[in-house]
Copies of this chain bind each other. A is one copy, B any other.
Amino acid sequence: MFVEIDRNSSISIKKQLYDALTYKILNKELPAGHRMPSSRQLSDQLSIARNTVTEIYDQLVAESYLNTYQGRGTFVAQLGDCKISSSQKKDFSEKEDTSDKDIISLVAGRPDLESFPDKQWLKACRDVLETHSQRFFDYGETNGYTPFRKSLVKYLKYHKGIYCSYNQIIVTNGTKHAAYLIASALKHKYSKVMIESPAVDFIARTFHQNGYDVTAAPTDNNGMIVENLNESTPSLIYTSPAHQFPLGGTMPICRRQKLLDFAAANGHIVLEDDYDSEFRYKGAPVNSLYQLNSERVIHLGSFSKTLSPALRLGYIVVPDKLVDVFNVYQDSVGNPVNTLNQAALNELITSGVYESHIYKMTKVYKAKMKMLTQSLSDAFAESIIINGCAIGLHISVEFTDIMFNIKNKEIFRDNGLDIELTSEYNVDKPSSSCNSLIIGFGHLNTEQIQQAIQRLKKAIDDIKRKN
């Protein structure tokens, strides 16, 4: 007959028969009204079980490819012209990535990827899986796995001085998700957001996409310039006070108090993005804004820097009075965070592995930071000011004797560097020139750091020559 069955194929005989028949019917090789062979005939012809044929005939009748009339037989139905798509024959050739191998990226945001505690992570995964608890395999709790949130309560208390209940914590897929979640959950209460500028780029985009009126708040080396704020419509205010991104500043206590007084007086809510303050190289962890006013601050935390951005794990702490608003939103959208990963990270935290990892990595990053600032001083002496070197995985470097514009990036690239200007992160008008560069170093080893600064020196000489 007209159907070929390949007994060596990995595709089941049922599926082959179904595919062949539907293809022929849709392409009119078996036209409307055509009488199909009986199931006995077809099974004999193809040497396949009659049951298989009957089952597929039944299915094709159910899906209206065929009609069957008691005592008369089975016939091809009258169908439209829509066929199996011709794209099936297309050749989907694949482009391979061709990325330049000798570029050192100084773009900020990535931690040391070689130091991921893979053995401990695997052990935690095994421990979780070996409990065979169904809760790990089911749809997760809307605000995140409760034992994990309870561990976070303790962690936040000891490491950030944040006192909260686990029901104020929502586990997120990281800060992008947190921004989206906040923008969505609060958009019926707030329609404006003030964002410190420069700031990480997805914040403005997320709020803009959610219909917010976005304004930029000027920012200097001490963080957002709070003194200039004068919005009286209740709004959201985004800031990264522990380690301003990208400028690097830590917001002083007087500005923090002014910001919170301003928020309290006008009904604003402050979004405190604390993306990397776990790594502090001098002194003690900074007090959080949340600590100063837990009714006006949503605190955003992440494991992307402390462990790995691949995990997609973070959390927000919301004020008591906003818990219900977030619950309503979360109930409606569900939580997108993998429960097994939450449970594994919970193991790392409760067993102390997470804390030891941060302790170990703080030393690693401190050594890198020292190497970086030393290399910069050696290369540029008095012509630079380094900002943000007490905390985190990036610094900003102000040059006193040169302005950069966006076109200079090509010269950096010609010298083997991927590097960004701080002005690329301006929230309002991305200005094309500024005197400061961002240097992310978390992902580099000390050799790469030294080489990068040599290249930077040469690139800047090139830029000066061309000016």
Q: Which residues of A contact B (CB under 8 A)?
A: 10-12, 14-15, 17-19, 22, 25-26, 55-56, 58-59, 62-65, 77-85, 87-90, 92, 94, 109-110, 113-114, 116, 118-119, 121-122, 125-126, 129-130, 132, 134, 136-140, 150, 153, 158, 161, 163-167, 173-174, 176-177, 180, 184, 202, 205-206, 209, 211, 250-258, 260-261, 282-287, 290-295, 304, 308-312, 320, 332-334, 336-341, 390
Contacts and interface: CB of A to CB of B under 8 A. Distances in A.
Given A64-B253, A138-B310, A81 B261 contact: yes
Contact of A310 (B59, B94, B140, B292): B140
Contacts of A109: 139
Contacts of A166: 92, 94
Contacts of A254: 64, 77-80
Contacts of A15: 284-285
Given A63-B251, A176-B336, 5 more contacts: A55-B282, A85-B293, A109-B139, A184-B209, A338-B341
A88 B139 contact: no
11 contacts: A12-B284, A63-B252, A79-B253, A82-B260, A92-B163, A92-B165, A110-B138, A139-B309, A205-B332, A206-B333, A211-B211
A250 B325 CA distance: 39
A237 to B, nearest CB: 15
Nearest to A344: B125
Contact of A336 (B119, B125, B177, B293): B177
B338 A88 contact: no
Contact of A132 (B18, B19, B118, B320): B118
Nearest to A332: B205
A90 B138 contact: no
B333 A176 contact: yes
Contacts of A286: 59, 63
A208 to B, nearest CB: 10
Contacts of A22: 253, 287
